Amino acid sequence: MPEDAPGNPGAARSAASPARQAAVYRTVREMQAKLHRWAGDDPSRRFGDLFNLVYDPDFLAEAWLRVKGNAGSRTPGIDGATVADIENRIGVGTFLEEIRGLLKAGEFRPVPVRQVMIPKKSGKLRKLGINTVADRVVQAALKLVLEPIFEADFQPCSYGFRPNRRAHDAIAEIQFYATHGYEWVLEADIRACFDEIGHVAVMDRLRARITDKRVCALVKAFLKAGVMTADGEQEESYTGTPQGGILSPLLANIALSALDDQFMRQWQAQMGTDGQRRKRRRNGLGNWRLIRYADLCRPRHKSAYADIRVMPTGLLDGPPGGRDVVLSAA
């Protein structure tokens, strides 16, 4: 990593002043901006020596603030401890120093997530994995380091779980194409996405950018940490990343970026200009554009583009020849 990467400034404090919190935020954001710039300037660059940032006191302090500010801060993992418990019994400074010491010594070990079943509107149940607060803080620190790098790689057609991108932005793009010659919206749902993500595939895409073996090993350890069911039985994790984990949305986007890349390569090569799209129409071929969001988009915002014709699910071969399609993947 370039020499202007920061070291380990300032120890975390249990009751940081607003000025201290602002300074921590500023330091982390400056480093994130550098990581994002380096990744964007050189798409082939591979990043090593990142682990020192994961256990950097400022990154851990910012990770703590994000965990504390999350709606799930009052929900314990398998150890029964909440954010408030740690503040009142241990103290934030001591807690973060313990985590930092374990990470620095290579002794930090993620523990199984506590699995709860959440009812869905369909009547089915969704698995939710609740990490311990310590695991959440480390995942948040990992995300602070990894996200700016992979954000430089993600395609503009991807909207879910990304900074400064909302479901309404995805809908606005669908509406834009619907008023520019595209006649169909084909909705698709990635079934059990978080449950079925292949560990080998996501780790391969992670290692394509990250050469720091300690960072990769820590991510893999979270993937393999396992699950503690409501019956108290521990289950191994062979696929998937727990829905509810702080790092899980980023890992899902890293895995699904393979899909985005494939679609965008075809778009740019065959449909990137008005001339190319007109030629395809003359030859009886349709044009398409992928817009991908997380599974929360479809049921919540479907009515926003209800005036556009939605292709029946059974029409697997696409619309009649020469029609243009917006592929809305949720």
Please give the chain's pLDDT, 330 residues, in tens: 333 333 333 334 345 788 999 999 999 999 999 999 999 999 999 999 999 999 999 999 999 999 999 988 999 999 999 999 999 999 999 999 999 999 999 999 999 999 998 887 878 888 889 999 999 999 999 999 999 999 999 999 999 899 999 888 998 998 898 888 888 888 888 878 888 899 999 999 999 999 999 999 999 999 999 999 988 899 999 999 988 999 999 999 999 999 999 999 999 999 989 999 999 999 999 888 889 886 433 333 334 444 444 444 433 344 445 556 666 665
pLDDT (0 to 100) of residue 323:
58
Instruction: Please answer whether residues 205 and 258 qualify as being in contact, where contact means their C-beta atoms are separated by less than 8 angstroms.
Output: yes
Q: For residue 157, which phi and psi values (nearest 5 degrees)?
A: -80, -10
The angle at the Cα of 214, spanning 53 to 220, to the nearest 5 degrees, equals 115
Query: Cα separations (Å) of 131 from 76, 117, 174, 247, 260?
Result: 8, 14, 36, 11, 29
Buried b (16+ CB within 10 A) or exposed e, 10-41: eebbeebeeeeeebbeebbeebbebbbebbee
Cα–Cα distance, 137 to 81 (Å, whole number): 13
- Maximum Cα–Cα distance across the chain: 71
pLDDT (0 to 100) of residue 159:
92
Cα–Cα distance, 29 to 51 (Å, whole number): 17
Q: Which distant-in-sequence residues (6+ apart) come within 8 Å of 277 by Cβ?
A: 181, 271, 287, 324
Token duo for residue 143: 């995300």
239 closest CA partner among 257, 228, 229, 252: 252
Sign of CA dihedral 28, 253, 309, 123: negative
The burial of 43, by beta-carbon neighbours within 10 Å (0-12 exposed, 13-18 middle, 19 or more buried), is given as exposed
pLDDT (0 to 100) of residue 307:
46
Q: Which distant-in-sequence residues (6+ apart) come within 8 Å of 152 by Cβ?
A: 36, 39, 40, 43
How far apart are the two ends of the chain, measured CA to CA in Å? 36
Cα–Cα distance, 161 to 13 (Å, whole number): 30
Q: How many residues comprise the chain?
A: 330
Query: Cα separations (Å) of 103 from 66, 133, 161, 219, 304?
Result: 19, 15, 27, 13, 46
Cα–Cα distance, 169 to 162 (Å, whole number): 11
pLDDT (0 to 100) of residue 324:
65
